[in-house]
Structure 1
Amino acid sequence: MERVHKKENGNAANRIAFSKRNLWSGFIFGIGLVSFFDEAVFHQILHWHHFYDKSSTAIGLVSDGLFHAFSWFTTIGGLFMLADLRRRNGLWLLKWWGGVCVGVGGFQLYDGTIQHKIMRIHQIRYVENVIVYDLVWNISAVMIIMIGLILIFWAQNKSR
């Protein structure tokens, strides 16, 4: 990876040099952020489900703890990458936020399709008409991904 530290060119040159790192930092932070939100709100506050609901409540609570640890480490990992970008004068905030949105939406879509429907390790909520919850969950995930891609595209075009 190329390091660029000239103050006169500063951000513009560094943004290009660290473009992918901005995306990855935002993406990883986004996954951690939405995981943390999911675990805190839907698992702990609302008690809608556990990360793994195919066993006892005790196993469900252990799975929630592991999921919480994953969300914590992922969030912190993304923030360490963000701090490194700032230190190197390579933070491209618009591209980073695009990565955050793609990470949030990507994880939410993965959760809603793979974990909820294919693996069936839990549902978003155990109610008769779960399709409404599934549609809201997955459609909002696609919308967040689209916002992220627009931000990334916009950032890329602004740099030209």
Structure 2
Amino acid sequence: MSNRPHRSPLISAGILMGAGLGGFVDGIVLHQILQWHNMLSNRLPPNTLVAAKVNMYWDGVFHAAVWVMTAIGLRMLWSVGKRHDVPWSGRTFGGALLFGWGLFNVVEGVIDHQVLGLHHVQEYATNKLPWDLAFLGFGVLLLLLGWSLMRAGRYDSASRGSY
């Protein structure tokens, strides 16, 4: 059996939690507070009560899915905390959170905004593409920042108390 530290369980938990939390930021800020779009607002504009209720339902399904991702990631993190072969690194975990959020933005932005056309970032803008590209660009920035923090975390001490 190897005594070599294993970072991948901490990274996996962080990526899953980051994707879930990134989904919450998207849903809370863009769907609810700013009301720029809903899950199906490009396919079914919420300009009638029935259409608004359908969009609200699918927003709820979306929130339930990101809640499940976050909960699974939290469970994984709890398990990591019991392992002595996983170095506890704030840079590694924080980088994984950012990487997960960026991964969420890129995957959701490509699939929902571009491929399926379910909605766009700013559904009511005359030109939706710049908003969608900014969302993707922010996702790529989060991926790069998260990756660099995870790489920097490789040099953290293998002791359980390092941050």
Which band: TM-score by shorter chain? 0.7 to 0.9
Structure 2 residues not aligned, in runs of 5+: 45-50, 159-163
Question: Hey, what does 1:128 align to over in structure 2?
Answer: 126
Question: Hey, what does 2:30 align to over in structure 1?
Answer: 42
Match of 2:89 among 77, 92, 112: 92
Matched residue SS, 1:154: helix
CA distance in 2, matches of 1:149, 1:157: 14
Question: Hey, what does 2:69 align to over in structure 1?
Answer: 74
After TM superposition, give the deviation of residue 121 of structure 1 in Å: 0.7
Question: Hey, what does 2:137 align to over in structure 1?
Answer: 139
**Structure 1 residues 34 and 69, CA, compared in 2 at 3 Å: closer, same or farther?**
same
CA distance in 2, matches of 1:145, 1:119: 23
Paired residue total: 148
Q: Aligned pair 1:65/2:63, yes or no?
A: no
After TM superposition, give the deviation of residue 157 of structure 1 in Å: 4.3
Instruction: State the identity %.
Output: 27
The residue identity in structure 2 corresponding to 1:50 is N
* Higher fraction of helix: 1
After TM superposition, give the deviation of residue 109 of structure 1 in Å: 1.0
Match of 2:147 among 128, 139, 149: 149
CA distance in 1, matches of 2:80, 2:155: 21
Deviations 1:102-156 (A, max 9, x none): 1100110112222101110111112112233123211111111001111121122
Normalising by structure 2, we get a TM-score of: 0.81
Normalising by structure 1, we get a TM-score of: 0.82
CA distance in 2, matches of 1:135, 1:106: 15
Match of 1:27 among 15, 39, 43: 15
CA distance in 1, matches of 2:16, 2:32: 23
CA distance in 2, matches of 1:97, 1:29: 10
The residue identity in structure 2 corresponding to 1:140 is F
The residue identity in structure 2 corresponding to 1:49 is H
After TM superposition, give the deviation of residue 83 of structure 1 in Å: 1.9
After TM superposition, give the deviation of residue 101 of structure 1 in Å: 1.2
Q: Aligned pair 1:109/2:97, yes or no?
A: no
After TM superposition, give the deviation of residue 88 of structure 1 in Å: 2.6
